[in-house]
Amino acid sequence: MVTEIGAEYEVVVVGGGPTGLMLAAELALAGVRVALAERRIDQSLEGSRAGGLHARSLEVLDQRGVVDRFLREGQVVQAAAFAGVTLDLTGAPTPHPYSLGLWQNHIERILAAWVAELPVDLIRDCTVVDLAPDDAGVDVLCADRRLRAAYVVGCDGGRSAVRRSAGIDFVGWDPTMSALIAEVEMHEQPEFGTRQDATGTHALGRVDYEIRDGAVVFAEEGPVRVMVTESRVVTAAAEPTLDDVRAALRSVYGTDFGTHRALWISRFTDTTRQAATYRRGRVLVAGDAAHIHSPVGGQGLNTGLQDAQNLGWKLAQVVRGVSPDDLLDTYHAERHPVAARVLRDTMAQVALNRPGDARHDVLRGTVADLVDREPTRTAYAARMSGLDIRYDLGDGHPLLGRRMPDLDLELPDGTRRVFELLHAARPVLLDLGTPGGLAASAWADRVDVVTAAYDGAWDLPGVGTVAAPTAVLIRPDGYVAWVGEHTADGLDAALRRWCGRPSRSR
Ligand SMILES: Cc1cc2nc3c(=O)[nH]c(=O)nc-3n(C[C@H](O)[C@H](O)[C@H](O)COP(=O)(O)OP(=O)(O)OC[C@H]3O[C@@H](n4cnc5c(N)ncnc54)[C@H](O)[C@@H]3O)c2cc1C
């Protein structure tokens, strides 16, 4: 029987993984009437999956005032890497010059607790099977109910029903490798660490670990996380079994270390695909629903969180009618190239990691050597941590389209960090001394104008020091939409473009 839910939503988010939770939070902060439809009956996740957050994702959470919840539970670690070279962010111009080791089940739990504090209708045990869009909205058809929304966002993972229902192509490359990944109990104690052989890379370690003096120190006891590359690519839908894990361990290590129980077994491949478009009319896709790739580099979850932050405020402005519908097209324009680069970077790393002959080993060493030299090292540290992302907002000051740095600003009531100004997820017009001041009163209901002083350096990750502007318009996602250099030229157009129609005539 299909239950009609009375309430119509402005947005239905399908899928409450990391991307969907982040998007629901962003929409709720912006005052959107939002439902999150999730097929799982609770947030518990089988297995640990993604291993943590990179610096830009930590900044994104910092901009919403919740990063401490994650930092409290995770392990600070230098984990950004390319071609086997660890790209240490120490000294980089960010409040978080590191990655955070924290398994995905904990990331989701913390995100879900945040969402629970916000006005989000979380509808569990709700599997979306199809969509029926029309001119005015979209019917979201679940197994046992129907929801209605002005817009629907599929955050429902790599096998997205939303993407399929919207007829969005998922284009890319078939897998060239597969690996078993599991959390198991063993009678024996193996040597932990990674191993490279003619089949590929394998790794053993405890699920629980600490970072001490920059090094991973595994717990004395507890489940072991196993990752074994398979000798032939397996893409069969059949779920791998404990016997498969034992056999794979024996073929690589010569023993299965007395593996007797599995808490979770899965398989991943390097299948690499991206949605041809992130938007079809009233339906959008984000996170794994929009892009999948090898886990090497740990980019998947991070890219999804940042998709969500890019999309949330734009959807809010469109459903509230302050911005035209085409603001949503900038979501594809900005985020598709970001994930396309992630896809290329992971493909390159898979190719480099692939076992080969002596010449392949030399190639791997040569690339590692090139990455490990300045200025490439600094550029790649910014790239693999997401700190160098630049949206194409036209030519101009190097800040334009880049993340706003977290400066310590002098305000009349004391010092405040830029990221604190973004907690409310509203645009901020920061006036640092524009001659004659800035006029944005026609947007006063939705833009926070802050007058402050700052006389330190403006350092951008991967770019270096840039000329100090006299004003910046910061979007709710923390990216710079306009830069003032002793004049307010262009501000009016930028406000209209990014903050919507003026609320009163000027
Ligand atoms: C084995 C494995 C290991 C991984 N390791 C890493 C890693 O080391 N580093 C890294 O960064 N990433 C890793 N990833 C990828 C990472 O887990 C994903 O990038 C991340 O989970 C994407 O988040 P998401 O919210 O977009 O999608 P998902 O996490 O897939 O969430 C989708 C959500 O939608 C729900 N859903 C699905 N279909 C429906 C439907 N029809 N109706 C309602 N709800 C639905 C699901 O229950 C789920 O909650 C790994 C993935 C796997 C499978």
What pLDDT digit, counting tens, does each position of 415-463 carry? 999 999 999 999 999 999 877 778 788 898 999 999 999 999 999 999 9
**207 contacts: CB under 8 Å, gap ≥ 6:** 48, 103, 183, 219, 222, 223, 224, 225
Which protein residue has the closest C-alpha to ligand 1 atom 52?
49
User: What mean pLDDT comes out for the span 138-145?
Assistant: 92
Decide whether any atom of ligand 1 lies within 6 Å of the 97 Cβ: no
The structural domains of the chain, with segments of one domain joined by +, span: 3-44+119-173+273-353, 52-102+355-389, 178-269, 408-499
Decide whether any atom of ligand 1 lies within 6 Å of the 251 Cβ: no
Q: Tokens 């009609």 correspond to what residue?
A: 4
Which protein residue has the closest C-alpha to ligand 1 atom 49?
17
Give tens-digit pLDDT for 51-79.
999 999 999 999 999 999 999 999 999 99
Assigned fold of 3-44+119-173+273-353:
FAD/NAD(P)-binding domain (3.50.50)
33 or 444: whose pLDDT is higher? 33
Give tens-digit pLDDT for 323-332.
999 999 999 9
Whether residue 6 is predicted with pLDDT greater than 50 in this model: the reply is: no
C-alpha 214 to ligand 1 mean position (Å): 28
Which protein residue has the closest C-alpha to ligand 1 atom 31?
17
C-alpha 502 to ligand 1 mean position (Å): 39
Buried b (16+ CB within 10 A) or exposed e, 243-265: ebbbebbeebbeebbebeebebb
Top mutation candidate among 160, 301, 306 for ligand 1, by most atoms within 8 Å of CB: 301
Q: What is the DSSP letter of 323?
A: S
CATH number of 408-499: 3.40.30.120
Query: 85-88: which pairs have CB atoms within 8 A and are 24 or more residues apart?
Result: 85/368, 85/371, 85/372, 85/377, 85/380, 87/371, 87/377, 87/380, 87/381, 87/384, 87/385, 88/381
List the alpha helices (DSSP H) in 170-279: 242-253
Span of 281-285, 356-360, 422-426 with lowest mean pLDDT: 356-360
| Domain with residues 178-269, CATH architecture | 2-Layer Sandwich (3.30)
505 or 57: whose pLDDT is higher? 57
Whether residue 250 is predicted with pLDDT greater than 80 in this model: the reply is: yes
User: What mean pLDDT comes out for the span 350-368?
Assistant: 92
Amino acid at 137: G
Decide whether any atom of ligand 1 lies within 6 Å of the 470 Cβ: no
pLDDT at 505: 54
SS3 state at 67: helix
Q: pLDDT averaged over the chain?
A: 94
pLDDT band at 1 (very low <50, low <70, confident <90, very high): very low
Give tens-digit pLDDT for 299-328.
999 999 999 999 999 999 999 999 999 999
C-alpha 288 to ligand 1 mean position (Å): 6
Q: What are phi and psi of 92, to 5 degrees?
A: -70, 150
Whether residue 283 is predicted with pLDDT greater than 80 in this model: the reply is: yes
pLDDT at 436: 77
